[in-house]
């Protein structure tokens, strides 16, 4: 007889059902695990045998074979310890109760039978829910928001014996009520920076509000001290709080990367140093893990001093910016991580930093300026929605009432609600397919002619023209307009004009 019991395996953030098949027969005492297990899975046989002996299960003179199906899929991690132990005890006749087919077992074992948490439990539980499993047996982990996993019965256990008790119909100790103890607090929206702290830059503030409403990418350029980093640090404060679905995705990615998440309700903000390697930015390694672009999923990735990043690293962002996911292929496995983020980038206009400055003289030659700006390739610049050139602002400006991030955030939330209602899904103008955007919000012929004329003069690619239309749709949403207006198109064209830096270079030549 062969006992079959379900568990969950992970391939990146994607989970799949693993059927643990256990068979025991008289013979030389041994335990063999097949089904492409890695070293960690192979070592589990010692943990499983020790745990079942602790439960007074005699496996002496038995040959035990464990098959992890599907056999062609590589298995990694210690997810399957608990399932193997329960299957072995069922095979040895230690309990008679039937193991429900819609139940999955996740957890590592210590030598005394204690069930311990494993890396990546939350994405495994989410995968079990998507596979229509009704119940999951798992160890306690305070970082897992069980109250958000609606439609899934999570049985929190401490020992293998707790599983046997629950399968026999006995109630467990109150630890399985853990969801009440880890309820997520209401978001307090405490941010390090607020838009109220920014003096002047009214047009730039409006541009960032548009970027937040439609999830558009922004490239800032300007002399040192003009406020580029301050804008980036304050930008998360005008983003809406994350939905439950987004929170689960973000928590899962941070658990896989073994990173600490400040608050699951607030959009993540990542600011890697320009010396970071391509693996750190995009993800990878011998055992692939999420990189900075995945840790910025549903949030913001800020690349300060963008021109100082390796050109190869920046070019690796091209595909993730388009698709919202990154696929990492290694000899051991191929994994895919989500990476739908808003890219904020900042750079100086020239090597010395003062090209176009009102207070300093630029000492760079036109050739040096051109060489410096060419570090940002055309395809990367093409993927930026908004191009901003910032100037330094004097602090002695007349005192005016500056709008707080909370007020701007409310307008952003209303604009996003209009987009969600229009597309019947939680997707913004910058991410929705262009065909769907034009189908719901068609442009008039004279509006298309406006864009064609400017695109011809500016030598814009088709991608840039599409981004202008997306920007115009977001500007119209902020204004409460059902259709894309002519004013919105002109404003979008102004935000995307890339000839500002070229004019600065010409000024430097003179």
- At 357-373, the pLDDT tens digits run 888 888 999 999 999 98
Q: Is 175 in the same domain as 203?
A: no
Q: Is 211 in the same domain as 263?
A: yes
- Domain endpoint, select from 157, 182, 207: 182
Q: Is 356 in the same domain as 497?
A: yes
Q: Please tell me the predicted confidence (pLDDT) of residue 399.
A: 55
How far separated are the first and last CA of the chain, in Å rounded? 88
Taking the C-alpha atoms of residue 216 and residue 213, their distance in angstroms, rounded to an integer, is 8
Q: Please tell me the predicted confidence (pLDDT) of residue 145.
A: 84
Contacts of 313 (CB under 8 A, 6+ apart): 276, 277, 278, 281, 282
Q: Is 114 in the same domain as 235?
A: no
- Examine residue 437 and state whether it is found in any structural domain, yes or no: yes
Report the C-alpha dihedral over residues 39, 42, 43, 48, rounded to 10 degrees: 150
Tokens 């307008």 -> residue: 411
- Domain endpoint, select from 139, 158, 182: 182
Q: pTM for this structure?
A: 0.87
Q: Is 137 in the same domain as 254?
A: no
Pairing of strands 103-105, 135-139: parallel
Taking the C-alpha atoms of residue 462 and residue 184, their distance in angstroms, rounded to an integer, is 44
Q: Is 324 in the same domain as 415?
A: yes
Nearest to 351 by CA among 366, 367, 369: 369
- Examine residue 393 and state whether it is found in any structural domain, yes or no: yes
- Examine residue 188 and state whether it is found in any structural domain, yes or no: no
Taking the C-alpha atoms of residue 143 and residue 6, their distance in angstroms, rounded to an integer, is 24
Q: What is the CATH number of the domain that holds 149?
A: 3.30.230.10
- Examine residue 302 and state whether it is found in any structural domain, yes or no: yes
Q: Is 321 in the same domain as 420?
A: yes
- Examine residue 401 and state whether it is found in any structural domain, yes or no: yes
Q: Please tell me the predicted confidence (pLDDT) of residue 184.
A: 40
Tokens 């098959």 -> residue: 67
Taking the C-alpha atoms of residue 140 and residue 147, their distance in angstroms, rounded to an integer, is 13
Q: Return the ∠ at Cα 299 (arms to 295 and 303), rounded to 5°.
A: 75
Number of domains in the chain: 2
Taking the C-alpha atoms of residue 454 and residue 76, their distance in angstroms, rounded to an integer, is 54
- Examine residue 187 and state whether it is found in any structural domain, yes or no: no
- Domain endpoint, select from 160, 182, 204: 182
- Examine residue 321 and state whether it is found in any structural domain, yes or no: yes
Q: Is 144 in the same domain as 268?
A: no
Q: Please tell me the predicted confidence (pLDDT) of residue 18.
A: 95
- Residue spans of the chain under pLDDT 70: 172-189, 396-400, 498-510
Tokens of 252: 């899962």
- Examine residue 482 and state whether it is found in any structural domain, yes or no: yes
Q: Is 200 in the same domain as 306?
A: yes
Q: Return the ∠ at Cα 481 (arms to 475 and 484), rounded to 5°.
A: 60
Q: Is 201 in the same domain as 119?
A: no
CA 79 centroid distance within chain: 23
Q: Please tell me the predicted confidence (pLDDT) of residue 359.
A: 81
Q: Please tell me the predicted confidence (pLDDT) of residue 176.
A: 41
Q: Is 80 in the same domain as 152?
A: yes
* Domain span holding position 284: 195-505
Q: Please tell me the predicted confidence (pLDDT) of residue 49.
A: 94
DSSP code of 114?
A: B
pLDDT digits (tens, 9 = 90+) for 27-69: 888 999 999 998 889 999 999 999 999 999 989 889 999 999 9
**Cα separation values, 357 from 92, 223, 306, 370, Å:** 80, 6, 19, 17
Q: What is the CATH number of the domain that holds 347?
A: 3.40.50.300
* Contact between 366 and 355 (Cβ < 8 Å): no
Contacts of 363 (CB under 8 A, 6+ apart): 352, 354
Q: Please tell me the predicted confidence (pLDDT) of residue 402.
A: 80
Within 44-183, strands assigned E span 62-69, 103-105, 108-109, 115-116, 135-139, 153-157
Q: Is 177 in the same domain as 243?
A: no
Pairing of strands 325-329, 334-338: antiparallel
């Amino acid at each position: 007889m062969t006992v079959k019991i379900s568990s969950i395996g992970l391939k990146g953030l994607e989970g799949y059902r693993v059927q643990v098949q256990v068979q025991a027969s008289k013979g030389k005492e041994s335990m063999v695990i097949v089904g492409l297990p890695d070293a960690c899975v192979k070592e589990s046989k010692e943990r499983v045998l020790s745990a079942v002996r602790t439960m007074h299960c005699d496996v002496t003179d038995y040959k035990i074979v464990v098959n992890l199906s599907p056999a062609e899929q590589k298995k990694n991690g210690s997810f399957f310890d608990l399932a193997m132990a329960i299957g072995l005890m069922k095979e040895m006749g230690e309990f008679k109760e039937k193991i429900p087919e819609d139940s999955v077992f996740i957890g590592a074992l210590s030598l005394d039978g204690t069930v311990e948490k494993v890396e990546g439990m939350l994405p495994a539980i989410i995968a079990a829910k998507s596979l229509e499993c009704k119940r999951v047996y798992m160890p306690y982990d305070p970082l897992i928001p069980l109250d958000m996993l609606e439609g899934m019965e999570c049985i929190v256990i401490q020992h293998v014996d707790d599983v046997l008790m629950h399968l026999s119909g006995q109630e467990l100790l109150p630890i399985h009520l853990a969801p009440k103890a880890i309820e997520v607090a209401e978001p307090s929206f405490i941010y390090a920076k607020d838009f109220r702290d920014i003096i002047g830059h009214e047009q730039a503030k409006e541009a960032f509000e548009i970027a937040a409403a439609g999830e558009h990418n922004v490239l800032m350029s300007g002399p040192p001290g003009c406020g580029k980093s301050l804008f980036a640090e304050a930008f998360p404060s005008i983003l809406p709080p994350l939905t439950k679905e987004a929170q689960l995705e973000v928590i899962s990615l941070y658990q896989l990367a073994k990173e600490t998440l400040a608050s699951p309700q607030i959009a993540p903000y990542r600011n890697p140093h320009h010396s970071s390697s391509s693996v750190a930015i995009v993800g990878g390694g011998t055992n692939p893990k999420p990189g900075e672009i995945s840790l910025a999923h549903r949030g913001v990735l800020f690349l300060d001093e963008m021109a100082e990043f390796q050109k190869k690293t920046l070019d690796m962002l091209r595909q993730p910016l388009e698709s919202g996911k990154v696929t990492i292929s290694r000899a051991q496995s191929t994994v895919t991580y989500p990476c739908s983020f808003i890219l904020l980038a900042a750079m100086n206009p020239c090597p010395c930093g003062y090209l176009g400055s009102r207070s300093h003289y630029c000492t760079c030659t036109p050739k040096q300026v051109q060489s410096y700006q060419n570090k940002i390739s055309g395809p990367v610049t093409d993927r930026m929605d908004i191009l901003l050139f910032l100037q330094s602002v004097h602090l002695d400006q007349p005192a005016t009432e500056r709008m707080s991030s909370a007020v701007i955030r409310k307008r952003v939330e209303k604009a996003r609600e209009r987009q969600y209602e229009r597309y019947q899904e939680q997707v913004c103008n910058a991410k929705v397919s262009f065909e769907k955007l034009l189908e719901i919000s068609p442009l008039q012929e004279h509006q298309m002619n406006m864009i064609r004329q400017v695109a011809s003069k500016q030598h814009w690619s088709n991608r840039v023209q599409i981004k202008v239309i997306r920007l115009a749709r977001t500007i119209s949403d902020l204004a409460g307009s059902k259709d894309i207006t002519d004013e919105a198109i002109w404003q979008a064209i102004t935000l995307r004009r890339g000839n500002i830096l070229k004019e600065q270079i010409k000024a430097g030549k003179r």
